[in-house]
Amino acid sequence: MTATHEPVLVDAVLEVLDPRPGDVVVDCTFGGGGHARRIAERLGPDGLLVGLDRDPVAEERFAELAADVSSRTRFMRTDFAAGLEHLLAEGLRADAVLMDLGMSSMQVDTWQRGFSYAYDAPLDMRMDPRQSLDAREILNTWDQRRLARVLREFGEERYANQIARGIVRARPLATTHELVEVIKRAVPAPSRFAGGHPAKRSFQAIRIAVNGELDQLDRALPLAWALLVSGGRFAGISFHSLEDRRVKRFLAERARGCVCPPDLPVCACGRSAEAALLARGGFTPSADEIARNPRAASARLRAARKLVDEPLTDEPLTEEPA
């Protein structure tokens, strides 16, 4: 594990969330705690920082942070959708909510957990080691059609069918390097290094399937919005298009006002915007930040301020076309 953790787009996060003394802030994906530490420094003794994460290492990091900051702190070891449900049931309201999606550096750099194609490790990829489903089970028991669908939908992998066929033929698989070799053999030679490592998209897809990341995000976005007080701020950092489209669509829907046909002289729908977008198009890292931290290159931050309180709905989110 790396000794230090550099949070992505931290200045933009502080700008849009604008944490103030006495605020209640929920960090849905505490990870290494880089964003949370900078936020907590602004909350003062009357403020409250709530950290959510299902990773046991994050719990250890949070304990270190709690000992260093003056604000009140609370940690819940759980996935962020379940954590938000619990906080809502308690009646907590937040002034700001942050979601920093995807893997944390501490997960990538702990090679034994099998998140990275750069190390030879057991096929695991679980963010919560208490969970039973892991990458090895998916790769060795799911049928070829289901594997291809995961690779195509969660990794946007062009050669999903070929890779799934190769996985089934190579069973049983036990390590990340065995999986990498299967992928390399399945991808045509001219495409192997076009756009990065040939295993990058497949590893992303399998990790998302293991941890149910997109389902969790779909559940969590309306919960986070419901948790915010009027005037509260939401920020979401994503690292690939599947996450970003969900965050973008969710915030855009809440920023829409009247939806009447343009030729109608007077509004009949009565709809008013419940969100103000804080950065159309989102924030992306500067060249200097990418030079310091290459993992920041694909990050995009989207944010909005809640204008009015709205009841929580159970409307499902559906994937928009690419």
φ/ψ of 150, rounded to 5, equals -60, -45
Measured CA to CA, the distance from residue 289 to residue 175 in angstroms comes to 33
In terms of phi and psi (left: phi > 0; alpha: psi -120 to 50; beta: otherwise), the region of 232 is beta
Strands (DSSP E) contained in 165-288 are 228-238, 275-277
Residues written for the chain: 322
Task: Give the tokens for residue 243.
Answer: 């996450």
DSSP 113: G
Q: Determine the Cα angle at 69 with ends 64 and 75, to 5°.
A: 55
CATH for the stretch 111-211: 1.10.150.170
Domain range summary for the chain, segments of one domain joined by + = 10-106+213-306, 111-211
Tens place of pLDDT per residue across the chain (322 aa) = 334 568 999 999 999 999 999 999 999 999 999 999 999 999 999 999 999 999 999 999 999 999 999 999 999 999 999 999 999 999 999 999 999 997 776 666 676 788 999 989 999 999 999 999 999 999 999 999 999 999 999 999 999 999 999 999 999 999 999 999 999 999 998 777 776 889 999 999 999 999 999 999 999 999 999 999 999 999 999 999 999 999 999 999 999 877 777 777 777 776 778 999 998 889 999 999 999 988 899 999 999 999 976 544 444 333 333 3
**172: cis peptide before it, omega within 30°?**
yes
Per-residue confidence (pLDDT) for residue 309, from 0 to 100? 64
Same fold, 10-106+213-306 and 111-211: no
Nearest to 238 by CA among 56, 79, 106, 103: 103
Q: What is residue 282's predicted lDDT score, i.e. its pLDDT?
A: 92
Q: Give the CATH superfamily of 10-106+213-306.
A: Vaccinia Virus protein VP39 (3.40.50.150)
Res 169: pLDDT: 98
Query: How high is the pLDDT of residue 106?
Result: 66
